[in-house]
Structure 1
Amino acid sequence: MTVAVETGVWQLDAAASTVALRHKTMWGLVTVKGTFGGVGGRGEVSADGSAAGTITLDAASLDTKHKKRDEHLRSADFFDVTNHPEITFAVRDAQVRSGDTVEVSGQLTVRGVSRPQSVTARLVDAGAGALTLETEFTVDRAEFGLGWNQMGMMRGPATVTATLRFVRSAA
Structure 2
Amino acid sequence: MSDLSAALSGEWRFDQAHTRIGFSTRHAMVTKVRGAFNDFEGVIHADVENPSKSSVQLTIQVASIDTRNEQRDEHLRTNDFFDAPNFPEISFQSTHIDQVEERNFIVNGDLTIRGITKPVSVPIEFTGVERDPAGHLRAGFEGSRRIDRQAFGVKWNTALDSGGVLVSDRILLEFEVSAVKVENDGG
TM-score, normalised relative to structure 1: 0.90
Task: Please point out which of 135, 138, 153 is paired with 2:166.
Answer: 153
Structure 1 residue aligned with 2:180: 167
Structure 1 residue aligned with 2:145: 137
Question: Secondary structure of the residue that 2:71 maps to in structure 1?
Answer: helix
In 1, Cα distance between equivalents of 2:169 and 2:181: 38
Cα offset, 1:127, TM superposition:
5.0
Question: Secondary structure of the residue that 1:148 maps to in structure 2?
Answer: coil
In 2, Cα distance between equivalents of 1:109 and 1:71: 21
In 2, Cα distance between equivalents of 1:18 and 1:56: 13
Judge which range, 9-18 or 44-53, deviates more.
44-53
Question: Secondary structure of the residue that 1:31 maps to in structure 2?
Answer: strand
Structure with greater Cα Rg = 2
Asked whether the equivalents of residues 7 and 49 of structure 1 are also in contact (C-alpha less than 8 Å), the reply is no
Structure 1 residue aligned with 2:11: 9
In 1, Cα distance between equivalents of 2:85 and 2:156: 17
Task: Please point out which of 22, 25, 31 is paired with 2:24.
Answer: 22
- Number of residue pairs aligned between Structure 1 and Structure 2: 169
In 1, Cα distance between equivalents of 2:58 and 2:154: 20
In 1, Cα distance between equivalents of 2:167 and 2:61: 23
AA matched with 2:57: T
In 2, Cα distance between equivalents of 1:132 and 1:96: 16
Cα offset, 1:72, TM superposition:
0.4
Structure 2 residue aligned with 1:93: 96
Structure 2 residue aligned with 1:71: 74
Structure 2 residue aligned with 1:82: 85
In 1, Cα distance between equivalents of 2:139 and 2:74: 34
In 2, Cα distance between equivalents of 1:139 and 1:38: 21
In 2, Cα distance between equivalents of 1:43 and 1:116: 18
AA matched with 2:51: G
Question: Secondary structure of the residue that 2:173 maps to in structure 1?
Answer: strand
In 2, Cα distance between equivalents of 1:84 and 1:94: 27
In 1, Cα distance between equivalents of 2:128 and 2:109: 22
Cα offset, 1:122, TM superposition:
0.5
Asked whether the equivalents of residues 96 and 108 of structure 2 are also in contact (C-alpha less than 8 Å), the reply is yes
In 1, Cα distance between equivalents of 2:88 and 2:171: 19
In 1, Cα distance between equivalents of 2:71 and 2:8: 45
In 2, Cα distance between equivalents of 1:49 and 1:105: 12
Asked whether the equivalents of residues 150 and 169 of structure 2 are also in contact (C-alpha less than 8 Å), the reply is no
In 1, Cα distance between equivalents of 2:8 and 2:143: 21
Q: Cα RMSD between the aligned structures?
A: 1.9
In 1, Cα distance between equivalents of 2:148 and 2:120: 11
